Structure 1
Amino acid sequence: MLDITTSKARRWILATALSGALITGCSNGGGEGGDAKPRVTPAVEPKPLAEGALHPLLLTQADLGSGYVQVQGQPGEGNFDDIAVQGCPALEKLGQSGAKNMFAAKAETSFTYNTDATLGEELHSDRPSVLSSKLRELFGAYTSCPTYTMTSGTTPIEVKVSKSATPELGDERFAYTSTMELPSGAQVLKTMAVRKGNVAVMLVGAPALVDRHIKTAVGKLPAGS
């Protein structure tokens, strides 16, 4: 049985919600979340930032305020090979695509809030056109099916997905909310990504936490990115 109160389960939930970026590739699934109009037009695109340049841009406890504790290790740490999806062709294809969706550089962190809520962050960097294309494919796949079944080992988990509104931030933004019917009860998570030039920030966790901190996360990105 999956117990969401354990730290292992919290990491698993974060990794699952971000599985397109953490452990799988992308698909050709349609659909977009939020304001996703193409805005990548420069003749010469900025190069990706290095991983070392991304780490200082991550959220910290000082950025978030009291009640947050940084989780040791990475949100995607561990073996998630036994996670599978049924009932959503775009996500099933995404899971078969391997590492081709990985961006040029990535940095990540995660936090617990008052011990019973989570907030995970990923920063990705690549050429703006690459970030734009892959984020569209990723969020398109995740919002292509209103319901699907996910399994972790032999545990089936029913998932409902709906597109979510996004604030006017960055060059492009995408968001969806997923409700996972876990044995311990329903778990609602929001996933939001904002691209600003050659860097994209992605937050996943309790909807209120994502909404509260996305502006701060985007505000840490370089002005010229």
Structure 2
Amino acid sequence: MRISTAGTRRWMLATALCGVLITGCSNGSGGGGGDAKPQAKPAAEPKPLAEGALRPLLLSQADLGTGYVQVQEKSDSGKFDDVSVQGCSALEKLGQSGDETMFAAKAETSFTYDDTDATLGEELHSDRPSVLSSKLRGLFGAYTSCPTYTMTAGTTPIEVKVAKSATPELGDEQFAYTSTMELPSGAQVLKTMAVRKGNVAVMLVGAPALVDRHMKTAVGKLPAGS
């Protein structure tokens, strides 16, 4: 199937938007140690899964059905160096700590759909449940703290509007918001949704209909004990 130049450009911007979200994170405590009693050993949390264990849990073309084409993965190195955010202090602080590794392990994939500009990206993250919970709350809290902000990709300023979204009753915790990017070619609406199940978090970003359609399948691929 043909992937248009415009579609590729929009996917790059969508990836940049998601990438800023994923790779930048404040130093939130996230460890849950404050709840431990001085004379009692805290209950052991499940350990993070390794990247090799996460990769088979990613969505595949067989999971998604006909019309999906997997996008060839590229190295993250330098991918978001020219992306910055202005007009939202919480996101600006998030970006300042972008060199930090957010979670212990990560695996990702992405797809285009039906010879259109529609895209769907997935990231799996693993860490101790308390770390995933704390950092996801901080992350989505930052992104929904400002109804509007400006994202600059290279020299191109892009106005972004953000609104919280409803979430399905899946996993242990759910987070979602919808962002509208005002591009020169027209507005593009993206939905970002994350579901934590134990020590693994599934994050989907892309066309809202595709995110809503496939999140249950993505969560269903996680092992029962995660």
The answer as to whether partners of 1:107 and 1:123 remain within 8 angstroms in 2 is yes
Return 5+ residue gaps in structure 1 as ranges.
29-39
Aligned to 2:39: none
User: Displacement of 1:167 after TM fit?
Assistant: 0.3
Between the two proteins, the alignment pairs up a number of residues equal to 211
Does 2:179 correspond to 1:142? no
Aligned to 2:63: 63
User: Displacement of 1:176 after TM fit?
Assistant: 0.2
User: Displacement of 1:103 after TM fit?
Assistant: 0.4
Within 2, Cα distance between the matches of 1:145 and 1:44?
37
The answer as to whether partners of 2:194 and 2:201 remain within 8 angstroms in 1 is yes
Q: Deviations over 1:174-202 (max 9, x none)?
A: 00000000000000000000000000000
Within 1, Cα distance between the matches of 2:224 and 2:14?
32
The answer as to whether partners of 1:14 and 1:76 remain within 8 angstroms in 2 is no
Q: Point out which structure has higher relative CO (alpha carbons under 8 A, 6+ apart).
A: 1
The answer as to whether partners of 1:75 and 1:120 remain within 8 angstroms in 2 is no
User: Displacement of 1:99 after TM fit?
Assistant: 3.1
User: Displacement of 1:44 after TM fit?
Assistant: 1.3
The answer as to whether partners of 1:107 and 1:124 remain within 8 angstroms in 2 is yes
Change (3 A) 1:75 1:66: farther
Within 1, Cα distance between the matches of 2:72 and 2:102?
23
User: Displacement of 1:77 after TM fit?
Assistant: 6.5
Change (3 A) 1:174 1:64: same
User: Displacement of 1:8 after TM fit?
Assistant: 4.5
The answer as to whether partners of 1:27 and 1:90 remain within 8 angstroms in 2 is no
Aligned to 2:171: 170
The answer as to whether partners of 1:126 and 1:198 remain within 8 angstroms in 2 is yes
Within 1, Cα distance between the matches of 2:75 and 2:192?
14
Q: Deviations over 1:69-92 (max 9, x none)?
A: 000114957532111111100000
Within 1, Cα distance between the matches of 2:77 and 2:169?
32
Structure exhibiting the larger radius of gyration computed from Cα positions: 2
Taking structure 1 as the reference length, the TM-score comes to 0.88
Aligned to 1:88: 88
Change (3 A) 1:141 1:126: same
SS in 1 for 2:205: strand
User: Displacement of 1:102 after TM fit?
Assistant: 1.4
The answer as to whether partners of 1:161 and 1:176 remain within 8 angstroms in 2 is yes
User: Displacement of 1:224 after TM fit?
Assistant: 0.3
Q: Deviations over 1:37-82 (max 9, x none)?
A: xxx9982100000100000000000000000000011495753211
